[in-house]
């Protein structure tokens, strides 16, 4: 792959996306795991969206009918929650509502792989977001996932992400040291974030929530994926600029920074070199 021109992503455009969320707060329904549910709900709120955690059979499908975006997080896969996901997916399809899949830990156990594969077979996802290992496992290439963590080397992650996007029709976000945003026709590499994000449990889940919030407010799903991933990474950097003593205080900084980004102007963001189209 050779570098080509960067996409037209500016501070003004990012500010417009944040204002779109604030001006018409989307209802984001999250079917997520209990470990990070509170952080997911709060981060959706901090982006100025409206969180609802309707994840039981019956209620999930009913709530999805009025949602602006739906998030599936497979960090825990009890049968009732999986049933609720399929109900919500059907409602989302009926009402043309974007659905984001965060296949947490896929590749670590046969059960998680089976749940994710069944969802992929039956649901048309707007965005699939995972770490390098999870995206690789979904794409059917060699991956090393321990619990919910990606380990090992993924030198071909750009092509892997594009292959998964091509086979599913989804936009694929692969999160790592550099984030990859791919569809069937293009691959972008985003340079934003901070190493402390990796020291806090649940930041991957919060990125999935971010992508759902942006997709609930923006008509352009590709722009929503790019802008959401970029805003998340920049918030991670700015949180590290504040005083913190460790992961707990950094986590608080991160939530506060997201809330500040959602409510203020970001037209002065220097995005030079942060977004590269590599295919």
CATH number at residue 166: 3.40.1190.20
Q: What is the pLDDT of residues 215-239, one digit of tens each?
A: 999 999 999 999 999 999 999 999 9
Contact 248, 201 (CB under 8 A): no
Residue 147 in any domain: the answer is yes
Q: pLDDT tens-digit profile of 100-110?
A: 999 998 888 89
- H-only helix segments in the chain: 11-23, 37-46, 59-64, 79-94, 110-122, 132-139, 157-168, 203-217, 221-241, 247-263
Per the domain annotation, does 1 fall within a domain?
no
6 found inside a domain: no
pTM of the model: 0.92
Structural domain of residue 179, as residue ranges? 11-277
Strand (E) or helix (H) holding 181: strand 179-182
List, for residues 166-185, the tens digit of each pLDDT value: 999 999 999 998 999 999 99
Number of structural domains the chain divides into: 1
The answer to whether residue 266 is domain-embedded is yes
- Nearest in space to 85 (alpha carbons), one of 46, 56, 125, 114: 56
Pairing of strands 50-52, 27-31: parallel
Q: Which two tokens stand for residue 106?
A: 């896929």
- For residue 103, being part of any structural domain is answered with yes
136 is in an annotated binding site: no
Q: Which two tokens stand for residue 122?
A: 């039956």
Ligand-binding annotation for 263, yes or no, is: no
Nearest to 190 by CA among 271, 104, 132: 271
Residue 146 has pLDDT above 90, yes or no: no
Window from 46-50, 122-126, 147-151 with minimum mean pLDDT: 147-151
Place of tokens 């991160």: 254
In a domain, 4, yes or no: no
202 assigned to a ligand binding site: yes
Helices (H) and strands (E) in the chain, counts: 10, 11
Exposure string for 192-210, b = 16+ CB within 10 A, e = fewer = bbbebbeebebbbbbbbbb
In a domain, 3, yes or no: no
Q: pLDDT tier at 30 (50, 70, 90 boundaries)?
A: very high
Confidence (pLDDT) at 153: 58
196 is in an annotated binding site: no
């Amino acid at each position: 792959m050779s570098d080509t021109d960067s996409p037209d992503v500016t501070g003004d455009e990012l500010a417009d996306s944040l204002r779109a969320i604030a001006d018409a707060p989307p209802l984001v329904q999250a079917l997520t795991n209990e470990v990070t549910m509170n952080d997911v709900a709060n981060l959706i709120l901090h982006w100025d969206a409206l969180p609802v955690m309707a994840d039981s059979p019956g209620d999930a499908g009913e709530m999805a009918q009025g949602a602006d975006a739906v998030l599936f997080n497979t960090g825990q896969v009890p049968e009732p929650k999986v049933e609720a996901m399929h109900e919500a997916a059907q409602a989302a399809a009926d009402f043309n509502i974007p659905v984001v899949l965060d296949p947490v830990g896929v590749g670590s156990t046969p059960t998680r792989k089976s749940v994710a594969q069944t969802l992929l077979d039956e649901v048309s996802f707007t965005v699939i977001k995972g770490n390098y290992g999870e995206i690789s496992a979904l794409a059917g290439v060699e991956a090393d996932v321990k619990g919910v963590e990606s380990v090992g080397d993924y030198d071909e992650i750009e092509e892997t992400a594009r292959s998964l996007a091509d086979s599913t029709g989804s936009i694929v976000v692969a999160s790592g040291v550099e984030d990859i945003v791919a569809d069937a026709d293009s691959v972008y590499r985003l340079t934003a974030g901070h190493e402390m994000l990796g020291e806090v449990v649940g930041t991957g889940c919060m990125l999935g929530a971010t992508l759902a919030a942006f997709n609930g407010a923006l008509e352009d799903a590709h722009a929503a994926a790019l802008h959401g991933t970029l805003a998340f990474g920049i918030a991670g950097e700015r949180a590290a600029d504040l005083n913190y003593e460790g992961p707990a205080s950094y986590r608080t900084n991160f939530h506060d920074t997201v809330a500040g980004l959602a409510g203020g102007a970001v037209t002065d963001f220097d995005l030079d070199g942060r977004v590269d189209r590599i295919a």
